[in-house]
Amino acid sequence: MTASKNHAARPKLVRRALDGVLLLDKPLGLSSNDALIKAKRIFLAKKAGHTGTLDPLATGLLPLCFGEATKFSQDLLDADKTYEATMRLGIRTATGDAEGEAVETRDVACDEAAVEAAMTRFIGDIVQIPPMYSALKRDGKPLYEYARAGQTVEREGRQVTIHALKMIACALPLVTFRVTCSKGTYVRTLAEDIGEALGCGAHLTALRRTGVGVLTLEHALTLDELAELDEADRDARLQPVDALLSTFPAVRLDDEACRRFLHGQRLKLAEVSPEHIEAGRVRVYAQAGGRLLGVAKAGEGVLAPERLVVTAS
């Protein structure tokens, strides 16, 4: 008798269409993609994606998009992020964080006031050199592959913006701070640069993301918490698709304008409510029932569809 006959066939998982946004509190040691796979399996969702990676060393807010929400994940990739981070002064590592081997040790001669003063120099527009241990590509290959092979390649500096940077605890050589920054910012590079400004070097020992755009950890769930809920309760904890779009002004369309909009037709702004809106991206709803129809660009007297929602949210 063959092995296939010895064991009953496993029932095939039936995936379901699901639209919404999960605010996940990612655990330590799990990649963003692994967290996505586990959440997708828990929800039995057909389609899902994340909105930007968190390193395995990092914990905290990882918004996951299901179904139609995946169309708007780019908006969170472009959003500002807020982190709470701890750096250890006096030691530089190969990776800029606690996962790498120490490559240099120096005395920490500064005090708390000096750390605060150094941190203020990094508020505003700054230029960062991306770390070798990153997923940025050079000649089609991620930088971390060069780094693991013992190679260092030249990287161009990139401008990022540090909107806010504040020390929240100091027990030298450990310093904990909160930072709100633009997309593309490497917090471990920020820690290293602060350490260099202090003359002692530094590396990141902990990182927790607390905000992505207007989304926060307040309503986030862990994978373990999700697994303990039944299907109805889990679904109820999903944020609506337009949770990703809350910073955009809202316009509403009557039935005829809805039909034309969903066919990709441009509308005159005189046909929407309110008529007078600033030029830029807007979220579009049906006047009857309030269903989200998608995102459009308003300007020059017209409303031009950008991304449409196929199903009700």
Tens digits of residue pLDDT in 35-92: 999 999 999 999 999 887 888 889 999 999 999 999 988 888 888 999 999 999 999 9
Segment 245-249 mean pLDDT: 89
- Between 132 and 180, whose confidence is greater? 180
pLDDT averaged over the chain? 90
Total of domains in the chain:
3
| C-alpha–C-alpha distance, residues 300 and 149, integer Å | 53
Task: Indicate if the pLDDT at residue 2 is higher than 90.
Answer: no
- Are 117 and 200 members of one domain? yes
Residue 90 pLDDT: 98
Residue 312 pLDDT: 46
| C-alpha–C-alpha distance, residues 297 and 291, integer Å | 18
Q: Choose one of 212, 230, 265: the last residue of a domain.
A: 212
Please report, as a single letter, which amino acid is at residue 292. L
Residue 197 counted as domain residue:
yes
Q: Quick one: 199 exposed, middle or buried, by C-beta within 10 A (0-12, 13-18, 19+)? A: middle
- Are 28 and 71 members of one domain? yes
Residue 5 pLDDT: 54
- Are 260 and 288 members of one domain? yes
Task: Indicate if the pLDDT at residue 196 is higher than 90.
Answer: yes
Phi-psi region at 261: left, alpha or beta (left = phi > 0; alpha = psi -120 to 50): alpha
- Are 201 and 117 members of one domain? yes
Active centre residues (catalytic): 55
Residue 191 counted as domain residue:
yes
Tens digits of residue pLDDT in 224-244: 999 999 999 999 999 999 998
Please enumerate, as own/partner, the contacts of 147-150 that have beta carbons within 8 Å and a separation of 24 or more: 147/94, 147/95
- Are 168 and 190 members of one domain? yes
Residue 313 pLDDT: 42
- Predicted structure pTM score: 0.87
- Are 87 and 207 members of one domain? yes
| Domain around 298 | 248-308
| C-alpha–C-alpha distance, residues 99 and 120, integer Å | 27
Could you tell me the CATH number of the domain that includes residue 37?
Answer: 3.30.2350.10
Could you tell me the CATH number of the domain that includes residue 277?
Answer: 2.30.130.10
